[in-house]
């Protein structure tokens, strides 16, 4: 693999969210999120790009442009399926701290949408806190000359485990701000089924499995803390088996490094958003969060 291809991988992985935001600036006029009622929206979606974006497609012109938020993302599909009003505060590149603070100094805190009238909260966040993009980029770079799996970096596990205090505090704060709400936490689906493909630009099969194992570790952390802090965890891993980045374009839940419609590798496709939304809707309907 030549130096030009290595630069392509790094650019796509490390600057994907920024690129989508820039394209959004070109495509739509400046607009901001509408203020939430003090009582809170009935359904509030919180999270990062894994819940927010479909890349350069279907950009929501009413959302902060930095968020690259989609009108066809999982929160929109969930609200439509349940027939309820909602406020989508998900934002690309968001970290847990951005739930309560202003992201990049411009995007209002996501928690502002919560209130005593909020019945449902969906939460998908933590990958940016765990520096997943940085470590994945390093893994792709290492695969050029060898294997990242063969030289496992213990800092990756440490970064994943380190999100725990902030994550649990966020769950507790959601309960405080929206005391009657049920919190639904969805994990990270399957990125890699066994093997690899040309669309992953030289990534070795062992390294693909290694990267998937780190998302599985992130799922384990989030699942454990969600359950311990009164939230309902939704496992999206099993249902997405067979829909990894090397699957057919119309069935994969995430786009690969090259050849994706969203121009955002390791980010959900429309099929991915539909799949996650269906799992969340089924779980919500199995509870008393929405009157039947």
Catalytic residue among 36, 49, 70, 247: 49
Tokens 């990062």 identify what position?
Answer: 48
Catalytic residue among 124, 140, 243, 267: 267
Is 49 among the residues known to form the active site?
yes
Backbone angles phi, psi at 73, to 5 degrees: -85, 180
Which residues does the annotation mark as catalytic? Answer: 49, 267
């Amino acid at each position: 693999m030549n130096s030009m291809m290595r630069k392509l991988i790094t650019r796509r992985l490390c600057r994907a969210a920024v690129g989508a935001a820039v394209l959004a600036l070109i495509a739509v006029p400046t607009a901001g999120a509408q203020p939430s009622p003090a009582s809170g929206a009935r359904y509030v979606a919180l999270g990062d790009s894994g819940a927010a974006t479909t890349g350069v497609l279907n950009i929501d012109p009413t959302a902060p442009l930095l968020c690259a938020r989609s009108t066809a993302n999982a929160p929109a599909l969930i609200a439509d399926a349940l027939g309820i009003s909602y406020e989508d505060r998900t934002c690309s590149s968001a970290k847990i701290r951005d739930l309560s603070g202003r992201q990049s100094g411009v995007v209002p805190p996501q928690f502002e949408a919560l209130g005593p009238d909020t019945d449902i909260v969906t939460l998908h966040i933590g990958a940016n806190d765990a520096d997943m993009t940085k470590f994945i980029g390093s893994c792709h770079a290492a695969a050029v000359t060898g294997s990242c799996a063969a030289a496992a970096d213990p800092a990756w596990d440490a970064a994943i485990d380190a999100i725990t205090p902030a994550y649990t505090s966020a769950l507790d704060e959601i309960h405080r701000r929206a005391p009657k709400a049920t919190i639904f936490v969805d994990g990270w689906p399957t990125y890699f089924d066994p093997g690899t493909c040309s669309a992953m630009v030289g990534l070795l099969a062992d390294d693909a499995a290694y990267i998937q194992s780190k998302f599985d570790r992130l799922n384990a952390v989030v699942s454990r803390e969600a359950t311990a802090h009164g939230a309902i965890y939704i496992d999206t891993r099993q249902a997405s088996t067979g829909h990894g980045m090397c699957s057919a374009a119309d069935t994969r839940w995430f786009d690969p490094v090259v050849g994706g419609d969203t121009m955002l590798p390791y980010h959900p496709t429309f099929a991915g958003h539909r799949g996650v939304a269906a799992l969340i809707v089924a779980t919500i309907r199995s509870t008393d969060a929405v009157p039947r």
